[in-house]
Chains A and B, each alone.
Chain A
Amino acid sequence: MVRVEEPAKGGFSFDLCRRNAMLEKQGVHAPKCLKTGTTIVGLIYKDGVILGADTRATEGSIVADKNCEKIHKLAANIYCCGAGTAADTENVTDMVSSQLELHRYATGRNSRVVTALTMLKSHLFRYQGYVSAALVLGGYDVTGPHLHAVYPHGSTDTLPFATMGSGSLAAMAMFESRYKEDMTKEEGMALVAAAICSGIFNDLGSGSNVDLCIITKDGVEFLRNFQQPNPRTYVSKRGYSFAKGHTAILSTKVIPLREQVTIEEGDGMAE
């Protein structure tokens, strides 16, 4: 009987799990993964969708990246903000972006937001919450503007305004009090920026600057660092200068190389 050969597959490798468990038992802690503490928001206004995010990435209680990008592109008309473990959000959005491109080639049409939503949802549910990515997905397709919130275990919400992340309650307070239907672009941008600022100032996991992304039928406007409410107060142009004597010299040893090396005179290299 001919046995069918299963080809070696790529993907995750679990070779070191047992070793890591042994090391943890002996007291060696794994390095903390980079999380985006975060405030991410989305809003539907008269002509489309506005997505907003802060720009701080934390590693435990340390700020790892003061100006990271949390708004990822899934397609030309679909963007996604990500909160949770930074590696998970980036890799999931990259994978779904590739899957959407394959899907576009197969169907010959522009991607719809519900397609991206279904792909993200089934992927996250498959991994039962081990992929910790909370996303706000927004876009404008042939059926109009759409906004969805996706939770790490795979459930989704379809809403006119959504917030996620550790600063979501602060941002939701702003939305609940000031949201109204059919806002203009300026009103929408002001409200989203105010919601992100509320998260930046009231939540420790969010900080630095405000990024905005406006998606309409005509295209996308990506405003990186739209507002910078936390500038560094003073940066010296000269940089650091250390005078001689700052570092204590413990010992000095001089080896004259002329005694080790013989120097010969000769012709240069021939052409």
Chain B
Amino acid sequence: MAMEDANISLPFHSTRPHDTLREGLASYKQDAVPVHPVQVIQSNFEKHRRQTKRSLIERAYGSAVPLRMDIDRQILSRFQRPSGLLPSSMLGLQSLTGELDEFGFEDFLNDPQNSESFVPVDMHLGMEARLGLSRDPAAHTLL
């Protein structure tokens, strides 16, 4: 779907309504643009690095190697737990991409398990959203 590929997507705050006193009057444009240059870096860096690495490997070793890597990636990213309390540990995928050997800010800052506004999603609603069966308009936020 085109909306999934675009970088800009409108967030749907299901946990709290828009706070006008703290954030100013609500507007779609405000929510769509990133608020800080570091946010742009954080969201684009991984994808950009992966693409660069892929194109370098393609030029050095031919197009078969990155195609095989892509297939491995797709296979390994399908091993997930049903949505619910436990997040999926993508061990195979992390080992393939080398993420297992890396240590970054996301490993010690703001662990999502410790966040105060953690709302455990209902397993059935989550599976429906994942399979695309849900008729609820806000279902994509469950992903």
Seen from chain A, the residues whose Cβ lies within 8 Å of a Cβ on chain B are 1-14, 17-19, 21-22, 95, 98-99, 102-103, 106, 126-128, 130
Contact = CB atoms under 8 A, between A and B. Distances in A.
B128 to A, nearest CB: 11
Contacts of B38: 12, 14, 127, 130
Interface residues of B, number: 39
Contacts of A22: 22-24
Contact of A5 (B4, B36, B80): B80
| 3 closest Cβ pairs, A-B complex | A11-B106, A17-B35, A8-B112
B109 A3 contact: no
A77 B37 CA distance: 36
Contacts of B90: 7
A47 B143 CA distance: 58
B104 A11 contact: yes
Contact of B106 (A10, A126, A127): A10
A22 B34 CA distance: 15
B23 A18 contact: yes
Contacts of B36: 14, 17
B133 to A, nearest CB: 11
Nearest to A106: B101
A22 B90 CA distance: 39
Nearest to A103: B101
Max chain B C-beta neighbours (<10 A), residue from A6, A13, A18, A21: A18
The binding surface of chain A is classed by DSSP as loop
Interface of B: 4, 19, 22-24, 30, 34-39, 41-42, 45, 77-78, 80, 83, 87-88, 90, 101-112, 129-132, 143
B39 A12 contact: yes
B130 A10 contact: no
Nearest to B30: A18
A181 B103 CA distance: 38
A221 B2 CA distance: 60
21 contacts: A1-B132, A2-B130, A5-B83, A6-B143, A7-B87, A7-B88, A8-B87, A9-B106, A10-B108, A10-B112, A11-B104, A12-B110, A13-B110, A14-B39, A17-B35, A18-B30, A19-B22, A21-B35, A99-B102, A102-B103, A126-B45
A11 B22 contact: no
Contacts of A6: 143
Contacts of B106: 9-11
Contacts of A14: 34-36, 38-39
A4 B78 contact: yes
B112 A18 contact: no
Nearest to A21: B35
Contacts of B80: 4-5
